[in-house]
Amino acid sequence: MPSTLKKKQVDVLIVGAGPAGLMACNALAKCGVDVRIIDQREDKVAAGHADGIQPRTLEIFQASNAHSFSYGLADRLLRDGAQLHTAAFYNPGPYGGIELTDRVPDVTAPTARYPFELTLHQGEIESIFLDSLRGMDVEVDRPVIPSSITLLEDKVDDYTAYPIEVTLQHSSNSQQDQLEEVIQAKYVIGADGAHSWVRKALNISMIGEQSNFIWGVVDLTPETDFPDIRNRTAIHSNNGSCMIIPREGDKVRLYIQLDTENAGEFLTSNGRVDRTKVTPQKLLQIAQKSFHPYTLQMPKEFEWWTVYVIGQRVASKFSINERVFIVGDACHTHSPKAGQGMNASMGDSHNLAWKISHVLKGWAGRALLQTYEIERQNYAQDLIDFDKKFASLFSGKPQTENCVDGVSHADFLKMFQTFGGFTSGIGIHYADSIITQSSSQRNTKHLIVGQRLLPQLFMRAADSRPVEIQDMCPSDGRFKVLIFTGDSSQKATLQRVQAATQKIESLFSKLSEGNIFRAFDIISISTASKAIVRYNELPLLLRSHWSKALIDDTDATGTKGGDGYANYGIDRADGAIVVVRPDGYVGVVAKLDGIATIDAYFSSFMARF
């Protein structure tokens, strides 16, 4: 029986402190939002589970620290994680055993800032967020289990209301008594995994099916003579398929395909897995066969292991009235071998957090929140379509003399590379909406509206320091307005810039009640050369701090940076205004004198009524 009954209000309640929940919590806390996060587990994950970080996710981590220029949360990932630079492919050789067919770059995304995948134990990834949150005085409340949720539908459009009521059960090992608490929230984010309580409580259905593909996973420190044990390696052998994912330190994860031929003893008559019969030793024995002629020793211990059937499903909707949202595994599940799961999950939160923040602060109408489902449900569906192709190709028999209809290396490689932009996360392209207006695309040829801001090294005008433009655009909840001035060292151009800046200032002043920098940051990029540029010749709005004025030139040594206008497809005479959303995606672009386009963009969602 509950010993006390508390009742409290919070702007955002997050249910679940895995990567998706923590990413959302960190992003909201960085924006200064009143947020609370609960989890039913006693502690963070200790071993195993998801651990692949894709290039775009690295960029998002790097942007996830608004306070310290160029040292975001990616820092610890890069220091502690394993980096996967090469993908190796092994196929049956002439003597029956496998042989090296090909090695290619693991990431096929030429604009990736970090051109590799990274692996790190999920517990470490959670730690990075937990430490960041601790710095903002936010702790995960655990173990806490939600027991009921109610949404007052007649209040969903009331900006001042707390229309959601959630009852929480606190339990503690040390004391036997339970504490019941009722929370009133403006928004709830269900980040509570594939078996999401939030999703079920709100009757959101999952669409899709279980596949027939069954996989075993073992984490171990291998002893082997296999030369590609530290590369991401796909083995297609006549004795089954296997994927090697190197991990931090000397550890390796093996994904081992299980079928009736190699794992009949685990399978029930209806094709399901009988978990009581599986041991990691048996899984490794299956892997050993596909490694032949290379040897893989049976280790003394396994760090972690599991068996799973691939389920490929997407939630029918991602929110209830844009008040309760689900993110991550709660709204999409797919196979882990392409290393997408945690990335897709954190990407959901990254997409959602700033939108909630803007609406809470009164800077945008609630229509902004609809773009979450528009953008992320599409993406989840694409992911599952890809996953089906990938899983079926990977699970297919290799093409050999005896199996001419099998999967050829060329087929597999083509698939691997065609989807490189997608799997790396770099190619994510959000469809048109109030915050993604591709009708403006013509103003920047290569900077694509709906895609993330392309990485580019510019030089700070005042101190010649090379800076990555992505580092100038941290996830601090503000829109970044990049003003490409052209050659501001030319008097005529400077006059045009001054005229344009007056209009820009007047618009953003209007949009922010005179407090421009609360919701916007303004960065200027001139084509003036480093030899003669004077950073302080620009209007003050374009250099609110000296570090905000950049030039498109190489660094002092002449070896780094330059060609930014060309890489972005911006005309040096026309200049440009580029609006980057708080999540790093290009929202709208205009010529320097095209302020009306910018006005129309923000007016479409910043006004509440």
Residues acting as catalytic residues:
51, 247, 255, 336
Measured on CA atoms in the order 586, 591, 596, 599, is the torsion positive or negative?
Answer: positive
The reply on whether position 409 binds a copy of itself by CB under 8 A is: no
Instruction: Kindly tell me which residue out of 465, 503, 510, 572 binds a copy of itself, with binding defined by CB under 8 A.
Output: 465
Q: CB neighbours of 600 closer than 8 A, spacing ≥ 6?
A: none
Nearest one of 249, 246, 594, 270 to 437, comparing CA atoms: 594
Instruction: Kindly tell me which residue out of 3, 4, 68, 418 binds a copy of itself, with binding defined by CB under 8 A.
Output: 68
The reply on whether position 231 binds a copy of itself by CB under 8 A is: yes
Nearest one of 320, 451, 332 to 20, comparing CA atoms: 332
What are residue 267's DSSP bridge partners? 273
Separation of alpha carbons 177 and 171, rounded Å: 7
Instruction: Kindly tell me which residue out of 176, 268, 276, 557 binds a copy of itself, with binding defined by CB under 8 A.
Output: 557
* Residue 133: CB minimum distance to a copy of itself, A: 21
The reply on whether position 342 binds a copy of itself by CB under 8 A is: no
The reply on whether position 463 binds a copy of itself by CB under 8 A is: yes
Tokens of 431: 């469809």
C-alpha R_g of the chain: 26
Instruction: Kindly tell me which residue out of 14, 35, 84, 454 binds a copy of itself, with binding defined by CB under 8 A.
Output: 84
Angle 145-146-152 from CA coordinates, rounded to 5°? 170
Of the pair 39, 106, the CB lying nearest a copy of itself is at 106
The reply on whether position 540 binds a copy of itself by CB under 8 A is: no
Rule CB under 8 A: which of 265-284 touch a copy of itself? none
Instruction: Kindly tell me which residue out of 65, 83, 257, 262 binds a copy of itself, with binding defined by CB under 8 A.
Output: 83
* Residue 251: CB minimum distance to a copy of itself, A: 12
Of the pair 4, 68, the CB lying nearest a copy of itself is at 68
Instruction: Kindly tell me which residue out of 546, 573, 603, 608 binds a copy of itself, with binding defined by CB under 8 A.
Output: 546
Of the pair 244, 315, the CB lying nearest a copy of itself is at 244
The reply on whether position 79 binds a copy of itself by CB under 8 A is: yes
The reply on whether position 476 binds a copy of itself by CB under 8 A is: no
Of the pair 66, 152, the CB lying nearest a copy of itself is at 66
Separation of alpha carbons 114 and 61, rounded Å: 12
The reply on whether position 291 binds a copy of itself by CB under 8 A is: no
φ, ψ dihedrals at 402, nearest 5°: -85, -5
Report the Cα 181 to chain-centroid distance in Å: 33
Instruction: Kindly tell me which residue out of 225, 261, 265, 563 binds a copy of itself, with binding defined by CB under 8 A.
Output: 225
Cα→Cα distances 448→130, 439, 571, 599, Å: 34, 11, 15, 19
Tokens of 26: 């960190």
Site string for a copy of itself, 485-504 (x = CB under 8 A): --------------------
Of the pair 80, 382, the CB lying nearest a copy of itself is at 80
The reply on whether position 297 binds a copy of itself by CB under 8 A is: no
Of the pair 119, 437, the CB lying nearest a copy of itself is at 119
Of the pair 1, 532, the CB lying nearest a copy of itself is at 532
Report the Cα 38 to chain-centroid distance in Å: 21
Site string for a copy of itself, 94-133 (x = CB under 8 A): ------x--xxxxx-------xx-----------------
How many residues form the binding site for a copy of itself (CB under 8 A)? Answer: 42
Cα→Cα distances 602→138, 454, 519, 595, 598, Å: 32, 22, 12, 11, 6
Of the pair 334, 460, the CB lying nearest a copy of itself is at 460
Q: What would the DSSP string read from start to end of 99-143?
A: EEEEEEES---TT-SS-SEEE--HHHHHHHHHHHHHTTT---B-S
Whether the CB-CB separation of 548 and 459 falls below 8 Å is answered with no
The reply on whether position 136 binds a copy of itself by CB under 8 A is: no
Nearest one of 336, 467, 430 to 390, comparing CA atoms: 336
The reply on whether position 223 binds a copy of itself by CB under 8 A is: no
Q: How many CB atoms lie within 10 A of CB 446?
A: 12
**Chain residues that interact with a copy of itself, rule: CB under 8 A:** 68, 70-71, 79, 82-86, 100, 103-107, 115-116, 225, 227, 229-231, 246, 250, 460, 462-466, 530-537, 546, 555-557
